[in-house]
Amino acid sequence: MASIGDVAKLAGVSRSTVSLVCNNKGYVSDETRKKIEKAMKELNYIPSELGRNLKMQKSGIVGIIVPDIAHPFFSTFIKYAEKELYSRGYKALICGTAGREDVEEAYLQMLDRRTMDGVIMGAHSLKKERYLKIDRPIVTIDCYLADYIPTVHVDKRQVAEKAASLFLEKNRKKVVQLVSSHTIKNYENEKEQLFHELLEKQGCEVVDISIGYNTFTAEGYKDAAERIFEECSDMDGIFGVDMAAIACLREAKLRKLKVPEELSIVSIDGTYITKLGPEILTSIVQPIEKMAKKLVSMIILQIEGKQVEEIKAIFDVEIQDGETC
């Protein structure tokens, strides 16, 4: 493989001049530029990123760590993040942690090893102190770690209010809220508590049922749905993440419960699986693309050594009119 030196030799110039041509920098006379370009073509020269990376002390790679790459929320997030990263000259390295304790740690180390210039954290299964030790670019999805670590999330109050309004409109009296148990506090409680308050104030009972935090597979959600209907058969509303909501929709049908007549189901996230059918789910939709873009711009600011003034970016949610509430 031809290196910059080979090109320089063939063109009869120095390596630095070749470098200038490659990167469109500085002043190079038309004549020498021509010579160099000819030599590059002749040798089929392609600059190696490896040399460049070492010199520049950066790889141009941003890691995206999520619990489950195949989960509709995260896969959609990754899709938009990659797109945005690419358009800004970066590449996306991914990692799915679920079911692999040690892996998150291993990927975080790649940050120190300079394999990655920064990390977008969508998973956080390690102890909080571990994250505080990181002094390299990092941002999180919906997770508070420290005041200096940027994060994005949706407006929790808005989620609770919009969801509550949907159930109240239908005059529901007993709503099951599916909650997940988290390792690290990520405001989640705020939303859940608000949801309680808002409904209870109007005389609607709210029952929390926990689905494991690391339940990200279709099977996991199905098991959870069965449990829900066993634990609480007289509810008339369910509020939970997309996949859980769909699993509940199925469970309701199996039990001959009519949705939405007898049971209202509202999902949070509103990923594409809620839009496919056969029933469109009534959902609180997170603006995944916008959040991905914001997170990318935050991580790039950090990588490029600039100040991130907006540490917490909060997004609005939309109600998706569906057929399940």
Partner DNA sequence: GTGAAAGCGCTAACAT
Partner DNA sequence: ATGTTAGCGCTTTCAC
With CB under 8 A as the contact rule, which of the stretches 4-12, 87-95, 165-173, 229-237 interacts with a copy of itself? 87-95
Residue 83's binding partner out of DNA, a copy of itself, none, with CB under 5 to 8 Å set by partner kind? a copy of itself
Residues in 231-260 at the binding interface with a copy of itself, rule: CB under 8 A:
243, 246-247, 249-251, 253
The one among 38, 41, 42, 51 contacting DNA by CB under 7 A: 51
For residue 109, the partner it binds in a copy of itself, DNA, none, with Cβ less than 5 to 8 A by kind, is a copy of itself
Say whether residue 214 binds a copy of itself (CB under 8 A). no
**54 contacts a copy of itself (rule: CB under 8 A):** yes
Q: Does 287 bind DNA (CB under 7 A)?
A: no
Q: Of 66, 63, 77, which is closest to residue 110 (Cα–Cα)? A: 63
Q: Does 324 bind DNA (CB under 7 A)?
A: no
Give contact residues for DNA (rule: CB under 7 A).
Answer: 1, 3-5, 12-20, 22-23, 25-29, 31-33, 47-48, 50-52, 54-57
Give contact residues for a copy of itself (rule: CB under 8 A).
Answer: 46-51, 53-54, 57, 59-61, 68-70, 72, 75-76, 78-79, 82-83, 86, 91-96, 100, 103, 106, 109-110, 112-115, 217-219, 221-222, 243, 246-247, 249-251, 253, 272-273, 275-280
